[in-house]
Amino acid sequence: MVDVSEKPSTNRQAVARASVLLSKESICLIKEGGMPKGDVQAAARIAGVMAAKKTPELIPLCHPLMLSKIGVDIWLDEEKNSVEIESLVKNTGQTGVEMEALMAASVAALTVYDMCKAVDKAAVIQDIMLIQKSGGKSGVFKRSAKK
Protein backbone atom coordinates (compact mmCIF):
# COMPACT_ATOMS: atom_id res chain seq x y z
CA MET A 1 0.00 0.00 0.00
CA VAL A 2 1.29 3.48 -0.82
CA ASP A 3 2.46 5.50 2.20
CA VAL A 4 0.24 8.60 2.38
CA SER A 5 1.16 9.59 5.95
CA GLU A 6 3.05 12.72 4.84
CA LYS A 7 0.35 13.92 2.45
CA PRO A 8 -1.93 16.73 3.62
CA SER A 9 -5.65 16.05 3.96
CA THR A 10 -7.69 17.75 1.26
CA ASN A 11 -11.30 17.69 0.12
CA ARG A 12 -11.59 15.01 -2.51
CA GLN A 13 -14.38 14.09 -4.87
CA ALA A 14 -14.85 11.63 -7.72
CA VAL A 15 -17.66 10.95 -10.20
CA ALA A 16 -17.92 7.72 -12.19
CA ARG A 17 -20.44 6.38 -14.69
CA ALA A 18 -21.62 3.11 -16.17
CA SER A 19 -24.35 2.05 -18.61
CA VAL A 20 -26.35 -1.13 -18.98
CA LEU A 21 -27.83 -1.71 -22.44
CA LEU A 22 -31.12 -3.61 -22.37
CA SER A 23 -33.98 -4.47 -24.66
CA LYS A 24 -36.83 -2.02 -25.05
CA GLU A 25 -39.07 -4.53 -23.27
CA SER A 26 -36.73 -4.62 -20.26
CA ILE A 27 -36.66 -0.83 -20.04
CA CYS A 28 -40.47 -0.84 -20.05
CA LEU A 29 -40.56 -3.46 -17.28
CA ILE A 30 -38.15 -1.43 -15.15
CA LYS A 31 -40.16 1.72 -15.74
CA GLU A 32 -43.42 -0.02 -14.82
CA GLY A 33 -41.93 -1.84 -11.82
CA GLY A 34 -42.53 -5.20 -13.47
CA MET A 35 -39.15 -6.92 -13.15
CA PRO A 36 -39.56 -10.23 -11.30
CA LYS A 37 -36.82 -9.43 -8.75
CA GLY A 38 -38.35 -6.06 -7.86
CA ASP A 39 -37.33 -2.40 -8.02
CA VAL A 40 -34.19 -2.44 -10.17
CA GLN A 41 -33.22 1.18 -9.63
CA ALA A 42 -33.62 1.09 -5.84
CA ALA A 43 -31.68 -2.16 -5.49
CA ALA A 44 -28.87 -0.91 -7.75
CA ARG A 45 -28.64 2.37 -5.83
CA ILE A 46 -28.24 0.57 -2.50
CA ALA A 47 -25.74 -1.89 -4.00
CA GLY A 48 -23.65 0.98 -5.31
CA VAL A 49 -23.51 2.67 -1.91
CA MET A 50 -22.58 -0.60 -0.22
CA ALA A 51 -19.87 -1.28 -2.81
CA ALA A 52 -18.18 2.09 -2.30
CA LYS A 53 -17.91 1.31 1.41
CA LYS A 54 -16.40 -2.13 0.72
CA THR A 55 -13.78 -1.00 -1.81
CA PRO A 56 -10.70 -1.66 0.35
CA GLU A 57 -11.97 -5.20 1.04
CA LEU A 58 -12.23 -6.00 -2.68
CA ILE A 59 -9.47 -4.01 -4.41
CA PRO A 60 -5.97 -4.93 -3.21
CA LEU A 61 -3.91 -2.13 -1.69
CA CYS A 62 -6.75 0.41 -1.48
CA HIS A 63 -6.74 2.45 1.70
CA PRO A 64 -9.79 2.21 3.97
CA LEU A 65 -11.33 5.68 3.87
CA MET A 66 -13.84 7.62 5.92
CA LEU A 67 -16.31 8.58 3.19
CA SER A 68 -18.41 11.67 3.80
CA LYS A 69 -20.80 11.22 0.86
CA ILE A 70 -21.80 8.44 -1.47
CA GLY A 71 -24.47 9.22 -4.03
CA VAL A 72 -25.69 6.90 -6.77
CA ASP A 73 -28.09 8.29 -9.37
CA ILE A 74 -29.81 5.92 -11.76
CA TRP A 75 -32.06 6.83 -14.66
CA LEU A 76 -33.49 5.26 -17.78
CA ASP A 77 -32.45 6.49 -21.20
CA GLU A 78 -35.31 5.25 -23.35
CA GLU A 79 -33.67 6.54 -26.53
CA LYS A 80 -30.60 4.32 -25.98
CA ASN A 81 -32.54 1.54 -24.18
CA SER A 82 -30.14 1.81 -21.28
CA VAL A 83 -29.94 2.24 -17.56
CA GLU A 84 -27.50 5.05 -16.83
CA ILE A 85 -25.62 5.14 -13.54
CA GLU A 86 -23.60 7.94 -12.01
CA SER A 87 -21.86 7.79 -8.65
CA LEU A 88 -20.43 10.62 -6.57
CA VAL A 89 -18.08 9.98 -3.66
CA LYS A 90 -16.53 12.58 -1.34
CA ASN A 91 -14.15 12.62 1.58
CA THR A 92 -11.50 14.72 3.26
CA GLY A 93 -8.32 12.75 3.43
CA GLN A 94 -4.85 11.92 2.20
CA THR A 95 -5.84 9.79 -0.78
CA GLY A 96 -8.48 9.98 -3.50
CA VAL A 97 -11.89 8.36 -3.88
CA GLU A 98 -11.76 7.39 -7.54
CA MET A 99 -11.84 3.66 -6.83
CA GLU A 100 -14.82 4.05 -4.51
CA ALA A 101 -16.75 5.94 -7.19
CA LEU A 102 -15.83 3.33 -9.82
CA MET A 103 -16.85 0.49 -7.48
CA ALA A 104 -20.20 2.15 -6.82
CA ALA A 105 -20.96 2.56 -10.54
CA SER A 106 -19.69 -0.93 -11.41
CA VAL A 107 -21.61 -2.80 -8.73
CA ALA A 108 -24.76 -0.81 -9.42
CA ALA A 109 -24.42 -1.88 -13.08
CA LEU A 110 -23.88 -5.51 -12.05
CA THR A 111 -27.00 -5.31 -9.90
CA VAL A 112 -29.05 -4.01 -12.84
CA TYR A 113 -27.69 -6.89 -14.91
CA ASP A 114 -28.52 -9.43 -12.19
CA MET A 115 -32.05 -8.16 -11.74
CA CYS A 116 -32.74 -8.16 -15.49
CA LYS A 117 -30.89 -11.28 -16.68
CA ALA A 118 -33.89 -13.61 -16.40
CA VAL A 119 -35.82 -11.39 -18.81
CA ASP A 120 -32.94 -10.04 -20.94
CA LYS A 121 -30.05 -12.44 -21.54
CA ALA A 122 -28.45 -10.01 -24.03
CA ALA A 123 -27.90 -7.21 -21.48
CA VAL A 124 -24.50 -5.48 -21.80
CA ILE A 125 -22.58 -3.48 -19.22
CA GLN A 126 -20.46 -0.80 -20.87
CA ASP A 127 -18.62 2.48 -20.50
CA ILE A 128 -17.52 2.19 -16.87
CA MET A 129 -15.32 5.24 -16.42
CA LEU A 130 -14.12 8.01 -14.19
CA ILE A 131 -15.79 11.25 -15.27
CA GLN A 132 -14.03 13.67 -12.95
CA LYS A 133 -12.03 13.91 -9.79
CA SER A 134 -10.72 16.73 -7.67
CA GLY A 135 -8.47 17.21 -4.68
CA GLY A 136 -4.95 16.20 -3.84
CA LYS A 137 -1.64 16.97 -5.48
CA SER A 138 -2.73 16.00 -9.00
CA GLY A 139 -5.64 18.45 -8.90
CA VAL A 140 -8.67 18.25 -11.17
CA PHE A 141 -9.38 15.72 -13.91
CA LYS A 142 -12.42 16.06 -16.18
CA ARG A 143 -13.09 13.63 -18.98
CA SER A 144 -13.75 15.44 -22.23
CA ALA A 145 -17.15 14.90 -23.83
CA LYS A 146 -17.53 12.12 -26.40
CA LYS A 147 -17.45 13.30 -29.99
Question: Domain of 109: which CATH number?
Answer: 3.30.70.640
Q: Are 40 and 32 in contact (CB under 8 A)?
A: no
For the chain, percent of residues with pLDDT exceeding 70? 99
pLDDT bracket for residue 147 (50, 70, 90): very low
- Does the pLDDT value for residue 60 go beyond 70? yes
As to burial, measured by CB atoms within 10 angstroms (0-12 exposed, 13-18 middle, 19+ buried), residue 54 is middle
The pLDDT value recorded for residue 103 is: 98
Per the domain annotation, does 10 fall within a domain?
no
Residue 104, domain member (yes or no): yes
What is the number of domains present in the chain? 1
Average pLDDT over residues 13-38: 97
**Residue 42: which domain range?**
17-136
Confirm whether 69 is domain-assigned: yes
Q: Please report which residue ranges of the chain form alpha helices under DSSP H.
A: 24-32, 40-58, 98-116
Q: Is 104 a residue whose pLDDT tops 70?
A: yes
Average pLDDT of the chain is 96
The catalytic residue positions are 114
- Judged against a pLDDT cut of 80, whether residue 146 lies above it is answered with no
Residue 97 has pLDDT above 80, yes or no: yes
More confident residue, 104 or 6: 104
Residue 145 is predicted with a pLDDT of: 77
CA distance 22 to 120: 7
